[in-house]
Amino acid sequence: DLFYRQLPKVELHAHLNGSVSFSTIEKLVARKPHLNIEHGMTAIRSGQRRTLDECFQVFKVIHQLVDTEEDILMVAKDVIREFAADGVKYLELRSTPRKEKTTGMTKRRYVETVIEAIRQCKNEGVDIEVRFLVAVDRRNGAEVAMETVKLAEDFMLSTDGLVVGLDLSGDPTVGHGRDLLPALQKAKNCGLKLSLHLSEVPSQADESELLLNIPPDRIGHGTYLHPEVGGSQSLVDTVRKHNTPLELCLTSNVKGQTVSSYSQHHFLYWYQMGHPSVICTDDKGVFCTDLSQEYQLAASTFNLSQEDMWTLSQKAIDCTFAPDLKQQLHQKWLELRPTLF
């Protein structure tokens, strides 16, 4: 629908390697034909569903395809251009720095290359502001988390504000947040904004309670926080007390089977309460979606008007980790409004 494509949008929850489009995958496959990877192994098409565990297998396949600096640069630039083409005006990308012994890629070079991609897109005049969150994969444990925080801090100080925060992600069934608490607290104390995947699966209430009291600056998914799905009122109260925004990804949660159907998505619970809720893609490549499609899906599922969706996209500006850009983005939204209504 043209309205949703033209609607100016803010994307706050996008994992770099989950956002790789079909056309970029084709270019990567051509670079590495010996891997014998087909598109069915890197994406979950419409109508298909996978368990969350199977989704994490998909990321492993993509990581095999993206293992040099050249790959990272191409992937990041393509992803940024694709979000811009979809009407995203502000993008926060997140990615887990990866070391690849076989190609000599280091974690530092990994981050530097993503930053280079952001700078190149800016110089090429791509109409989008991009910021970066360094991701901690929880499966790698406390020590790696602490190293990653130090790396993120270095980059925050050396990139003129392009690195703005830290993400906690990775398989939610592995490890416990209590072990990562010192690293997360250190990140918070040095000025990195925190976006934490929380209560993505049931039975994480203890961990969520612990991590919500840091408190984080945003929550990824938060699918099982509220009492109706086995969370608790006290978790909800903590989120509300801190007014912590939620990043909500409809297609990702339905295809990954943590939510049973679109109409059952917890977007409605939080939206009806007037709580800051931001619609995001999560992994637009893997889940074969884009942000305009997610907005349209939310509107049709929950019977929201175009005006409602406009307001939702505008309010997302206040949830970004770039305070220096907020005024400029609000101005842009006001300028674009008459072209839509």
Contact positions toward ligand 5GP, by CB under 6 A? 15-18, 59, 95-96, 135, 137, 169-170, 172, 197, 200, 252, 282-283
The minimum distance between CB 15 and ligand 5GP, in angstroms, equals 4
Neighbours of 85 (CB within 10 A): 13
How far is Cα 266 from Cα 224, in angstroms, rounded to an integer?
8
The answer to whether 200 is a known catalytic residue is yes
The minimum distance between CB 44 and ligand 5GP, in angstroms, equals 11
CB 128 within 8 A of CB 121: yes
How far is Cα 167 from Cα 82, in angstroms, rounded to an integer?
22
Q: What is the residue whose two structure tokens read 């930053």?
A: 115
CB 207 within 8 A of CB 176: yes
Q: Which of 11, 82, 200, 209 is catalytic?
A: 200
Indicate which residues carry an active-site annotation: 200
